[in-house]
A and B are shown apart, each in its own frame.
Chain A
Amino acid sequence: MGIETEYAIASNAQDARIKDNPIELSFALVRAAADAADAAAATRIAGSAGAAHAPGVSTGASATGAHPPIRWDYRPEDPVNDARGYRLPRASARPEMLTDVPELRPTNVVAPNGGRIYVDHAHPEYSSPETMTPQAALAADRAGDQFMQESADGASATLGRTVSIYRNNTDGKGSSWGSHESYEVARAVPFDVLTRLMTLHFVSRQIYTGAGRVGVGEVSEKAGFQLSQRADYFHARVGLQTTFDRPIVNTRDESHSVESRRRLHVIIGDANRMDVPEVLKLGTTSLLAWVAENADAAGFDLEGLLARYELADPVKALHTVSHDLSLGEQLPLASGTGVRGDDVRGGDSGDADGDGNSNSLAATTAWQLQIALRGAVYAVGAAIYDTDSRGEPLWPDVETRTVLDLWGTVLAQLAQLRRENDDERLTDTSAVRNLEWLLKWQVLEGLRRRKNAGWDAPVLAAVDLSWANCDPAKSVFTKMASRASSLVSAADITAARKAPEDTRAWLRAYLIDAYPEAVAAASWKQIALRVPRVSGAAGGAPGGAGAGAMGGGAAGSARVVDGAESDIVTIDISDSAHFTREALESKLRRARTIAEVAAILGASIQ
C-alpha cells in the first residue's frame, strides 16, 4: 500500500504586488528537491573512486558528477484505464486527467526512500514508497512531510520569502486537493463488490478519519464545523475523474503491479496530522479489501451484508455524516423496511438505537455501519485463521492486531462521545488522543467561547489553516500534539527516510544510491539502466544469467534503446513484494559491473 499527499503551498510575501502563484511556488519546491537529489548523487559518484558502495563498477560516466539527473519515468503510467473494464479515449479526457504527459521543467524527482516528489497541477506532491503495513505507510508519509518541508525551506532560500506548505485538503473557498491511498487487491474480486463495500466504508469511516474543517459547503457558505475536509467536494458515486464531480469510489485502474492485482485508488480521505486516524484509515480499508478477497473462502455472506446495508443515497449520506457532530444521524437504506427481523442479526447490534425495535432496518448510522464492517473482518478472520479460547481470531501479525484493537477502542469512544454534550467533549482526555476532528474542535470551541464569537470568525478559519502548516514552529497541531497518541517515533520516521526493505522500493532506492550514474529513470514498475557497450553491438549483459535470479520468474523482459555509448535496459519490477533487500542485496553486492547488475535483475539485452 502507499499514500500520496498533495500539499497546499503559500508564501508570506509582504509586498502586496507579489501575488502567490501556487504553480510557481510548487516548481520552486520541486526544484529544491531535485537539486538536493542531484547533489547527493554527485557526491556518491565522486566518492565511488573510493569504492564506498559500488566497488570497481565502471559505467563509462565520469567521476565528476556531471551526469544527467535521475528523473521519474512517466511512460508506464496509464491514468485513463478504468477499473470497470474499459478505457477512456484520450481525446475525450480533460487535459488535467492526462497525468502521464512529460513536462520540460524538473517536475519529478525520486525521493531518497524510493518515493516520488513532483508537481501535480498546482500542488507539490509526495508519494510514499510501496509499503507492506499501515504503520510503515504512516512512517513513510511522515518522512515525506520532512522531505517536503526541507524542500520548502530550499525554495524559501531561492525566492527570498518564506514558502509554507500545508497538510490539508481545502482552502474553504471552493478548491480541494487530495490525499490518496493505494491498495493492491486481487483482480478476481468483482469491482462491483469492491465498489459497494468501499462505499459503505468511505461514507462511515469519516467519524474517526476526519481531520475536521471550519466551514460547511464547498465555499464555506454555511458557518460551522464538520468532521471531514473532503466530504463536501464529492458528488458522484463512482467514476474515473479526480478533479471535478469527484466520485466516492475512484476507478482509475493504473495497477502499477502484476496483471492479477489491481490498484484500489482511494481519493476521498483527509490528510491527517494525527497518527491514529491515518493508521486506521489505511488499516481498516486494507482489511476490508482482504474481506472482499476472502469472503468466499471463509463462507461469509458478503453479498448479504452489502444488500442489507446498501445506502439509499450514498453521496447525501457522505455529507450527512460529515456535518453531524452528534454522530447519530440516521442514513436511509435502499431496502427500506423490507428486511425481516431474523436477517438483521449479524454484523450490527440489532437494536443500537434502543427503541426496542430490531425488526426493521430502514436506516442506519455511520457508527452502526462501522460495527457491521468490523464484524465482517472478525467473521472472515475467525474462519480463515481460527480463534483463540476467547474467540479472538488468530491474526498472523502484530500490525493487524494493533489496527483491530484501535478500531474497537475508537468505536467504543465514539459511542461514549455520542452521549456527551459540548461541555463534556471540551474536557475529554481519551477520545481526543485518537480523533483528529475532536482535538481540532477542542481548540476551536475553546477559542470561540473565549471570544464569544460565531463559527464564521476569521480567527477560527486561521486556526484551521495553521493546524495544517508543516513548519513545526508555526503549526497549531504541533502545539496540541502532546494530547494525541503517537504511533511512530522520531526514530521510526528517520528510518523511513530510507526505503522500506520489504518491497520493490528497496531496489529502486538501492540502485539510485549505489549506481547514480547508471540509473536513467525510475518509475513504479520499471527502472531504466544505462549499460555501456562493451564491444561493437549490444553486448552489455553476460548471456544466460536471465530471470532465474529472481527465483519466482517475476522479472520480465528488457527493452533496448540505442544510445551513443550505452544501451538503455529496462528492468520490470511489477511485482511490488519482490525485489526486496533479503532477496537481492547479497547478489547485487557481488556484481562487478552494471551489466551484471542488469543480468541479476532479469534484464537481458536482446
Chain B
Amino acid sequence: MPAVNKSQNTNANANANADAEKSADALNAAEAANEAAGRATKQVQSQEQADSLDNLLDDIESSLESNAEEYVQRFVQKGGE
C-alpha cells in the first residue's frame, strides 16, 4: 500500500476530479469489453459449466451429513467478539 505521501502535485486539484471521471470511463469500457467477450463464448461454456457443476453437486450431496436437519439444529453457538 502506498503508505507514505511521497510528492505533491501542484496541479492536484484539477487532476483530481478529471481522474475520478477517467476511472469511471475506463471501468465502463472494461465492462463493455467483458460483456462482448462473455457473449461469444457463453453458449459453449454454459453447457460445460452445467455438466461440471452437476458433477460437483453429486459429490457434495453424497458428502453431506445424512441427517441435515439434526446437523443444523445441533449447530448452536454463543456470540463472540
Residue positions of A touching B, CB distance < 8 A: 6, 8-10, 20, 22-23, 120-123, 125, 132-134, 171-173, 175-178, 180, 242-244, 267, 283, 286-287, 290, 293-294, 297-301, 345-349, 371-372, 374-376, 378-387, 391, 393, 395-397, 399-400, 408-409, 411-413, 415-416, 424, 426-430, 442-443, 446-447, 450, 458-459, 461-463, 465-466, 474, 476, 479-480
Contacts and interface: CB of A to CB of B under 8 A. Distances in A.
Nearest to A459: B68
A427 B64 contact: no
A397 B1 CA distance: 7
Nearest to A171: B77
B23 A378 contact: yes
Contacts of A23: 78
Contacts of A428: 49
A11 to B, nearest CB: 9
Interface string B46-60: 100110011011011
B77 A8 contact: yes
Interface centre among B1, B13, B64, by most A CB within 10 Å?
B1
A225 to B, nearest CB: 15
B81 A267 contact: yes
A178 B79 CA distance: 9
A459 B46 CA distance: 26
A374 B60 CA distance: 38
Nearest to A220: B72
Contacts of A447: 57, 60-61
19 contacts: A8-B75, A120-B81, A177-B77, A243-B80, A244-B79, A290-B3, A299-B15, A346-B21, A376-B20, A378-B19, A380-B16, A382-B15, A408-B30, A416-B31, A416-B35, A426-B50, A458-B72, A474-B63, A476-B60
A412 B1 contact: no
Contacts of A375: 19-21, 23-24
B75 A10 contact: yes
A385 B75 contact: no
Contacts, number: 223
Contacts of A385: 2, 6-7
A395 B26 CA distance: 17
B26 to A, nearest CB: 7
A446 B53 contact: yes
Contacts of B22: 378, 391
Contacts of A6: 80-81
Given A465-B71, A476-B60, 4 more contacts: A177-B77, A430-B38, A443-B57, A446-B53
B57 A446 contact: yes
Given A293-B5, A400-B1, A345 B19 contact: no
A171 B71 CA distance: 12
B12 interface: yes
Given A299-B12, A413-B34, A416-B34, A121 B78 contact: yes
Contacts of B13: 299
Interface residues of B, number: 55
B60 A294 contact: no
A400 B68 CA distance: 43
Contacts of A458: 68-69, 71-72
Interface in B21-48: 21-24, 26-28, 30-31, 34-35, 38, 42, 45-46
B48 to A, nearest CB: 8
Contact of B76 (A171, A293, A399, A409): A171
Contacts of A20: 74, 76
Contact of A374 (B23, B50, B61): B23
A231 to B, nearest CB: 15
Given A10-B74, A384-B9, A459 B64 contact: yes
A446 B6 CA distance: 51
Given A267-B81, A297-B8, A375-B21, A175 B16 contact: no
Contacts of A400: 1-2
B75 A383 contact: no
B9 to A, nearest CB: 5
Contacts of A244: 79
B8 A175 contact: no
A413 B34 CA distance: 8
B68 A379 contact: no
B75 A465 contact: yes
Nearest to A174: B79
Contacts of B81: 6, 120-121, 177-178, 180, 242-243, 267
Contact of B9 (A243, A386, A463): A386
A478 B30 CA distance: 31
Given A287-B1, A382-B15, A463-B60, A347 B24 contact: yes
A125 B7 CA distance: 41
A383 B9 contact: yes
A443 to B, nearest CB: 6
B53 A442 contact: yes
B17 A462 contact: no
Given A300-B16, A375-B20, A429 B77 contact: no
A371 B79 CA distance: 34
A158 to B, nearest CB: 21
Nearest to A289: B1
Contacts of A349: 24, 28
A450 B31 contact: no
A186 B12 CA distance: 21
B2 A395 contact: yes
B72 to A, nearest CB: 4
A301 B16 contact: yes
B55 to A, nearest CB: 10
A418 to B, nearest CB: 10
